[in-house]
Chains A and B, each alone.
Chain A
């Protein structure tokens, strides 16, 4: 079956078309957008990028936001095209979503990704101890996210309309994260690569713990920079990403 751009249009935003090349589905960080991955596309000539766009932002601004992991995972996997070779990348909250989507695809007996690449997020089984922030007022929510991770612009706080718009989906994303509970499961039969930064607040142990979610040995790659290391040093990160996808041997894992 050919899945047309139309049927996957709302959830998946394509970068430049690369017929015959492996597709990489990219899940954004909390408050993030598929647009960032579209901008990566020109630097990744051997990969067809497909950025995941959650409701409540971008062209989906008027849609109700999703506030729970199960609801999000069910909605994405229902429309995610998995007939051709593909890998999955996720950063921060997106890493957790990518992991849960892969688990759901396994439960559903669907073709699994050739590789799962998780970035800037502790292994899901690691208990998270940060205070919850998804119930804070808009200003405090945006302030706290900025304090933890950087990456938000002070201009956002200066513009009341933009702040209100962004706080709505940022709050939803943090609600997904803060209401998430890891449920024990067999390790994934999928090669797992972990990207992280030693300058980020996430411990090496918490990244290394992804090993417990993988049946095979994981590969761990560190980059300089903070939580958004790929914005500070984009070229080496994207070269590494391209190499990881290239080295991934496509296998027919169809059920």
Chain B
């Protein structure tokens, strides 16, 4: 999964939470403004671990405050395709 695909996946996850369309989700917004708290993060990492085929820990999301920051973090620890 490329960084761009990962960003799109995360935006779609949040869009489902907020019942908006994915293009309304700001990848630079802090998680809490997207309705994602620690409980929601547990759901997110469970799904994301399946999609990426490796365990994603909750702290990897919670310690990176935005969608873009998580994408950058995951790209850094596990090189992916182009943006």
State the A residues within 8 Å of B (CB): 13-14, 32-36, 38-39, 41-42, 51, 53, 57-59, 61, 153, 155-156, 159, 161-162, 165-166
Complex: A162 Cα to B32 Cα, angstroms: 16
Complex: A116 Cα to B5 Cα, angstroms: 45
Complex: A13 Cα to B18 Cα, angstroms: 14
Contact of A33 with B32 at beta-carbon distance under 8 Å, contacts A59-B65, A153-B42, A162-B58 already known = yes
What are 16 A-to-B residue pairs whose CB atoms are below 8 Å? A14-B33, A32-B37, A35-B31, A36-B35, A38-B33, A38-B34, A42-B20, A57-B38, A58-B37, A61-B62, A61-B65, A155-B42, A156-B42, A162-B42, A162-B58, A166-B38
> Are A162 and B30 neighbours in the complex by a CB distance under 8 Å?
no
Residues of A within 8 A of B40 (CB): 35
Residues of A within 8 A of B39 (CB): 153
| Interface band, chain B | 20 to 34
Any chain A CB within 8 A of the CB of B59? Answer: yes
> Are B59 and A39 neighbours in the complex by a CB distance under 8 Å?
no
Please name the residue on chain B nearest to A166 by beta carbon.
B38
- Closest CB of chain A to B46's CB: distance in Å? 9
> Are A42 and B18 neighbours in the complex by a CB distance under 8 Å?
yes
Contact of A35 with B62 at beta-carbon distance under 8 Å, contacts A51-B32, A58-B30, A153-B42 already known = no
Complex: A128 Cα to B4 Cα, angstroms: 52
Please name the residue on chain A nearest to B65 by beta carbon.
A59
> Are A161 and B18 neighbours in the complex by a CB distance under 8 Å?
no
- Closest CB of chain A to B16's CB: distance in Å? 11
Residues of B within 8 A of A32 (CB): 37
- Closest CB of chain B to A47's CB: distance in Å? 16
Any chain A CB within 8 A of the CB of B17? Answer: yes
Complex: A39 Cα to B57 Cα, angstroms: 23
Choose among A51, A58, A155, A162 the residue that contacts B31 (Cβ–Cβ < 8 A): A58
Complex: A161 Cα to B55 Cα, angstroms: 14
Please name the residue on chain B nearest to A155 by beta carbon.
B42
Please name the residue on chain B nearest to A40 by beta carbon.
B35
Choose among A39, A51, A155 the residue that contacts B18 (Cβ–Cβ < 8 A): A39
Any chain A CB within 8 A of the CB of B36? Answer: yes
Residues of A within 8 A of B23 (CB): none
